[in-house]
Amino acid sequence: MILKKSMIRTLKENKFQYAGVILLLLLAVTLYVSLSMAVTTLEERNARFTEDYKQETLHFVPSERIDASKLEEWEETFDITLETRSYYDADLDGSVLRVFSQTEEINRPYIAEGSNPEDDGEIAVSSVFAEKNDLHIGDTLEISGEPVEVTGFVYLPDYIYMLEQMTDLISDAEKFGIATASDRTMDQWADQSQIEITGWSRDGEVPEGFMEAVRTETTILQFVEAGDNPRIQFVDTEIEGAKSMNNTLPLFILALATAMVLLLMRRRIDMQRKEIGTLLALGFRRNELLRHYLGYAWVIGLSGTVLGLAAGAGLSVPLSDLYANYFNLPALSMFDFNPMVLVIAFILPLVLMLSVSAWGIHRALKVEPLTLLRPKEVTVGKKSWLERLPLLNRGTFIHRFRLRLLIRNKARSLYIFLGVMFSTVLLMFGFITFNSMDKLVETTYEDIMTYDYAVYYQSLNTENPEEGSDPFTRSEVKVKGNDTKLTGYGIETDTPYLNLLAEGEKLNPELEEGVVLSTPAAAVLDAAEGEDITLTNSLNDKEMTVQVAGVADVYIGSQIYLPREDFNEFLGYPNESYSAVWQTEKPERGESVYQIEDKQKVIDSFEATSGATRSAVIGMAVFAVVISVIVLTLLTHLIVEENSPSISLFKVMGYHNHEVSKLVLSVYTPVVILSYFISIPLAGLTLGQLMNSLVEQTGFILPTDVSWWMAGTGFIVIMLTYALSLALSKRKLKQVSLQEALKKQQD
């Protein structure tokens, strides 16, 4: 159809507007495709690695070595595969390299590069640790005074997220890495090695009665199911979290893009109403014109989706590698193609664009040709109730004119409101996350946990702890009527090493009345102060109903704190016993020590990741600004276009450009400001909800308070964005000719 040419020229003439919408769509599709593809790749790699390299179902740490014959007996009884593995934590100049003995059945190592360490004095290290510590294949390391050669890079399926301690939150590959070595190499460190038993069952479930059977044989220092192991689980959590994020954010941008298309289409049709009337009068059928105008939606939809698909697919490869590095997953595949992602990314925006446009166009085409040929009816003398408010009839002409324009363009105001809201929420998400990391470290690790080291013993201690040490008992407990497992801490209520603070108030004395929960535990249990909960444990059949005396600002981990004596009694331990101590002095790693937790290392991990967080925040801010600039500029351009006869008339009458701009363009400033301030609490609330919904998987909650600096910085960013959009639209305003008013008179 010859009208196609008209469409192409109109697109060229208004390239800025259409390119803006295409860009919005492109961003939505790129984001969706790249993230979804990366997550698909991550999921696929995780699934293959887990299955092919036999990821453990469980592991436990016995207080003493268990005979092979006993293991065989259990294997037969419980239809489970068991394997003994030893590991040694090597101190490498401030970083820890956990060297594992090589296994053949469970958690089999994957050598990505180089060769498997088979000879004495050979090890394979994780590639991300090697990269961070500038290690290469062939390099020699000194471990406990013995030289060892790096023969390759290794991945272990039970260390996909490389955490030194189970309680750690963030993996820091510079400070902690894993390695594998042959048994002969491991023998050098035998006296300082830890032993753990790994288990694998066909159905991935821990056989019933297995733990009890082990417990009758030995004291279990730690028993971890794969589902509770953050080194294994975190990747699944990330996949789940990313999946919901992958859909939400692009969907919102898609909705914005669709709204913009609808706006543009309605504007186009409004501008071309006379042309449409002429074409109808000439004999064009309505469906022919519908098809013609749908061409705009096709061009926008196709360009945005095709470019977005290409960009998204391209971006997903480095993104997948980034993910893989973050999770220490081998690149078993380069790119895992998910046809559904492509289909959704292609079809959904197109269907949405076309149906919304068709609706808008159809409405306009229902009008009789004669009506379209006439100038649009001017609703002079019709004032809405809002316009009749006395407030709007006061002040200078400029003031009244601006207010009326605002009221008469409610749809524009709404779009601007939503655009600013979207950008503000995105911006605040970044700021809150950034700030929360600091606050989380500050509150949890500095104000609440005042110890420097936690030393966990191989078995229960009953002797008086050394001076400067404060004893506590740690054990896992379950809450009746809930599948959630909590880490129980039996503490001295007057311990100097744990200040259970809640908004500055110390809750330790409240332990006399009941238990104190960490914030994630309270969120998981949906429990509040004053409520009763019943605890159970797997050591005996005892139950204990306790009252929640308070919720402390401990943002990491699902912990429950109670007096040590009560906890020991509940667990069936001797009254004075303890399994660990807190202290400020650096402990020696003796034979009785099972694990040492260095708080500074945990803090350092957070500090190390703050660089990445900062980049993410900057990225998020840039993204928010880009979206905001596109939406606001598109809208202000449309405002200029719609008001061009008035603008022209103002110019004819002698108004200066800046005065006209004040009259027509900056009208929406109050909307921008209002939207911004409404969006701030909304962002905090939304992020809080998101955190609560993910707490079961993540095990932590970020404090979502909005501080003054965030509100101030965000305001500056949003207002600068708005100013940029206005500046861009002012150029268009300047281009409105004086003849425009006369032309309109003729029409």
Partner 1 sequence: MAIFAEKVTKTYQSGEVTVKALREAGLTVPDNKIVTILGPSGSGKSTLLNVIGGIDRYDEGRIEVDGQALDLLKDRQLTEYRRNKIGFIFQQYNLIPTLTVEENVEVGRELSSDPFPMEDILGKVGMFDKKDKFPFQLSGGEQQRVAVARALIKNPDILLCDEPTGALDEETGKNILKLLKYVNDTYGTTILIITHNQGIGEMAHQVIRMSSGEIVETYENETLVDPEQVTWS
> Which residue among 80, 141, 280, 621 contacts partner 1 (CB under 8 A)?
280
Question: Candidates 363-371, 408-416, 588-596, 679-687 — which segment interacts with partner 1 by CB under 8 A?
Answer: 363-371
Q: Min. distance of Cβ 284 from partner 1 in angstroms? A: 7
Q: Is 286 in the site for partner 1 (CB under 8 A)?
A: yes
> Which residue among 275, 442, 531, 565 contacts partner 1 (CB under 8 A)?
275
Name the packing angle between helices 15-52 and 230-271 (round to 10°). Answer: 160
What residue has token string 């990741």? 609
DSSP 8-state secondary structure symbol assigned to residue 680? H
Q: Is 388 in the site for partner 1 (CB under 8 A)?
A: no
Cα-Cα end-to-end distance for the chain: 27
> Which residue among 15, 65, 136, 285 contacts partner 1 (CB under 8 A)?
285
Q: Min. distance of Cβ 1 from partner 1 in angstroms? A: 7
Which positions ≥6 away from 540 have C-beta within 8 Å?
A: 571, 572
Site string for partner 1, 131-170 (x = CB under 8 A): ----------------------------------------
**Residue 556, strand partner residues:** 700
> Which residue among 373, 626, 674, 711 contacts partner 1 (CB under 8 A)?
373
> Which residue among 145, 283, 339, 611 contacts partner 1 (CB under 8 A)?
283
Q: Min. distance of Cβ 18 from partner 1 in angstroms? A: 14
Do the beta carbons of residue 548 and residue 515 sit within 8 Å? Answer: yes
Report the candidate in 390, 703, 707 with the shortest Cα–Cα distance to residue 555: 703
> Which residue among 51, 67, 139, 747 contacts partner 1 (CB under 8 A)?
747
Q: Is 378 in the site for partner 1 (CB under 8 A)?
A: no
* Cβ nearer to partner 1, comparing 16 with 337: 16
Question: Candidates 277-285, 338-346, 540-548, 615-623 — which segment interacts with partner 1 by CB under 8 A?
Answer: 277-285
Q: Is 281 in the site for partner 1 (CB under 8 A)?
A: yes
Q: Min. distance of Cβ 278 from partner 1 in angstroms? A: 4
Question: Candidates 77-85, 362-370, 449-457, 609-617 — which segment interacts with partner 1 by CB under 8 A?
Answer: 362-370
**How far apart (Å, rounded) are the C-alpha atoms in residues 619 and 647?**
38
What are the tokens at 601?
A: 């290392």
Taking residue 11's Cβ as centre, other Cβ atoms within 10 Å add up to 18
Q: Is 746 in the site for partner 1 (CB under 8 A)?
A: yes
* Cβ nearer to partner 1, comparing 281 with 411: 281
Name the packing angle between helices 739-746 and 644-653 (round to 10°). Answer: 120
Do the beta carbons of residue 604 and residue 172 sit within 8 Å? Answer: yes
Report the candidate in 494, 491, 548, 493 with the shortest Cα–Cα distance to residue 521: 548
Do the beta carbons of residue 172 and residue 91 sit within 8 Å? Answer: no
CA–centroid distance for 731 within its chain = 39
Q: Min. distance of Cβ 258 from partner 1 in angstroms? A: 25
DSSP 8-state secondary structure symbol assigned to residue 229? -
**Residue 85, strand partner residues:** 196
Residue 366, classified by CB atoms within 10 Å of its CB into exposed (0-12), middle (13-18) or buried (19+), is exposed
* Cβ nearer to partner 1, comparing 369 with 587: 369
Q: Is 2 in the site for partner 1 (CB under 8 A)?
A: yes
> Which residue among 204, 241, 369, 465 contacts partner 1 (CB under 8 A)?
369
What are the tokens at 295?
A: 């061409």
Cα 377–Cα 378–Cα 380 angle in degrees, nearest 5: 140
* Cβ nearer to partner 1, comparing 1 with 414: 1
* Cβ nearer to partner 1, comparing 322 with 370: 370
* Cβ nearer to partner 1, comparing 17 with 605: 17
Q: In residues, how long is the chain?
A: 747
Which positions ≥6 away from 248 have C-beta within 8 Å?
A: none
Site string for partner 1, 8-47 (x = CB under 8 A): -xx--x----------------------------------
In DSSP notation, 427-452 reads: HHHHHHHHHHHHHHIIIIIIIIB--S
Question: Candidates 173-181, 228-236, 269-277, 730-738 — which segment interacts with partner 1 by CB under 8 A?
Answer: 269-277
Q: Is 338 in the site for partner 1 (CB under 8 A)?
A: no
> Which residue among 368, 447, 543, 585 contacts partner 1 (CB under 8 A)?
368
> Which residue among 274, 291, 408, 478 contacts partner 1 (CB under 8 A)?
274
The residue type of 505 is E
Site string for partner 1, 190-229 (x = CB under 8 A): ----------------------------------------
Q: Min. distance of Cβ 364 from partner 1 in angstroms? A: 16
The residue type of 707 is S
- The footprint of partner 1 on this chain (CB under 8 A) covers a number of residues equal to 26
* Cβ nearer to partner 1, comparing 367 with 719: 367
Q: Is 363 in the site for partner 1 (CB under 8 A)?
A: no
Site string for partner 1, 397-416 (x = CB under 8 A): --------------------
* Cβ nearer to partner 1, comparing 79 with 747: 747
Taking residue 322's Cβ as centre, other Cβ atoms within 10 Å add up to 12
> Which residue among 138, 282, 504, 654 contacts partner 1 (CB under 8 A)?
282
**How far apart (Å, rounded) are the C-alpha atoms in residues 69 and 90?**
30
Q: Is 645 in the site for partner 1 (CB under 8 A)?
A: no
Do the beta carbons of residue 246 and residue 36 sit within 8 Å? Answer: yes
Q: Which stretches of 226-322 are assigned E, i.e. beta strand? A: none
Q: Min. distance of Cβ 272 from partner 1 in angstroms? A: 8
| DSSP alpha helix (H) spans, 643-668 | 644-653, 657-664
User: Computed from CA positions of residues 433, 438, 442, 444, in that sequence, does the dihedral angle turn out positive or negative?
Assistant: positive
In DSSP notation, 449-506 reads: B--SEEEEEEEEE-SPPPTT-EEEEEEEEEETTS--EEEEEEE-TT-TTB--EETTEE
CA–centroid distance for 25 within its chain = 22
Q: Is 738 in the site for partner 1 (CB under 8 A)?
A: no
The 3-state secondary structure of 602-661, one letter per residue: HHHHHHHHHHHHHHHHHHHHHHHHHHHHHHHHHHHHHHHHHCHHHHHHHHHHCCCHHHHH
Q: Which spans of this chain sit near partner 1 (rule: CB under 8 A)?
A: 1-3, 5-6, 9-10, 13, 274-275, 277-286, 368-370, 373, 746-747
